[in-house]
Amino acid sequence: MDDITALIAFMVLAVLIVVIIWLFARAASALEKLNRIIDSGVPTFQLKEEKCPKCNSDNPMGWRYCGKCGREAPYSYTCTDCGQMANEDQKYCTFCGKKFEGKEG
């Protein structure tokens, strides 16, 4: 009975170690992606991803060209105060809060 208990304990410990290694690998991958985004100059408050309308791949919010197909982002406006890109339906800049001219709201 002691051999079976030791074997079960060893197996549980082995599975726990594998799960911990897997979690660390996922965290390292996420940190690497975050560092690439930060190094590219994208403000960290804009890490939400947006889909490219052409190829449906994920791009960081505020993207200007798709990283997969190279399509230009479908932004209609650029904030004159901070330079942030904005969609046609936005009334205010999501970065600095400036109200876009001619937009009600």
Cα(3)–Cα(23) distance, integer angstroms: 30
Q: Residue 17's pLDDT is what? A: 96
In a 3-state reduction of DSSP, which class is residue 84?
Answer: coil
Per-residue pLDDT, 41: 65
Query: What local confidence, expressed as pLDDT, does residue 19 receive?
Result: 95
pTM over cut 0.75: no
Q: Is the pLDDT of residue 40 over 90?
A: no
pLDDT at residue number 7: 92
Residue spans of the domains in the chain: they are: 1-41
Q: Given this model, what pLDDT does residue 47 score?
A: 52
Closest CA to 77 of 99, 60, 59, 55: 99
Q: 101: pLDDT confidence band, cut at 50, 70 and 90?
A: confident
CA angle 82, 33, 22 (to 5 degrees): 150
Per-residue CA distances from 23 to 17, 18, 47 (Å): 10, 9, 21
What pLDDT digit, counting tens, does each position of 44-63 carry? 555 567 788 889 888 877 67
Q: What is the pLDDT of residue 95?
A: 78
**Interatomic CA distance for residues 54 and 80, integer angstroms:** 28
